[in-house]
Amino acid sequence: MKAKSVQAFKPDPYVATILNCAVWMFYGLPIVHPDSLLVVTINGAGLVIETVFIIIFFTYSTWGGRKKILIILFIEAIFVALLVVVTLMCFDTYKDRSMVVGMIAIFFNILMYAAPLTVMRMVIKTRSVKYMPFSLSLASFVNSIVWCVYALMPLDPYILVPNGLGSLSAIVQLILYANYYWTTRWDDDDENFEVQMSSTSKA
């Protein structure tokens, strides 16, 4: 917001996380998986926060970036609507609904944690962590660890599996940050950064 530009940041983590939160909110509802109030509340809060992030990103993005975000959000909205309708109409028991929505939630949870892979690739190519915030990587690590503990009391494999993989993804991000922190040119402007990205891509 200060720069009035999204600079070299990518929208991938935000659009992936908003879909992830929507699916997990549905999973935690009493009609799907009873006694999951914490799952609903935290993902409801996450949905609001990610919406704010996307609005900010949309506001300061180029038209091409805005078009991409709109298309992805439209597809995500249709998918969530279809998931709700199919689950409620085709599956009658909590067990079946939990299994179907849980498996889909696992997939999108993994997708959310995999979204930073594009950023990690950029970090390795440019030897710079300028556009991979340390606070986000650390928060992702702590979040996934806490949810792993939660999933063990009692055991909920639908929460445990993706967050276990998420913790590994976050650890890789933190290792990259520690490795490339000292080679990062913090004062480089965005034009120089884009030129650097272009040259590494051609290489």
Burial 95-121 (b: 16+ CB within 10 A, else e): eebbebbbebbbebbbebbbbbeebbe
Q: Is 61 helix (H, G, I), strand (E, B) or coil?
A: coil
Tell me, yes or no, if the pTM score tops 0.85.
Answer: no
Check residue 193 and give its pLDDT: 47
Check residue 202 and give its pLDDT: 45
Instruction: In whole angstroms, give the CA distance from residue 52 to residue 67.
Output: 17
On whether the CB atoms of residues 26 and 32 are closer than 8 A, the answer is yes
pLDDT average, residue stretch 32-41: 88
pLDDT digits (tens, 9 = 90+) for 118-177: 778 888 888 888 777 788 888 889 988 998 998 888 888 888 888 888 888 889 888 888
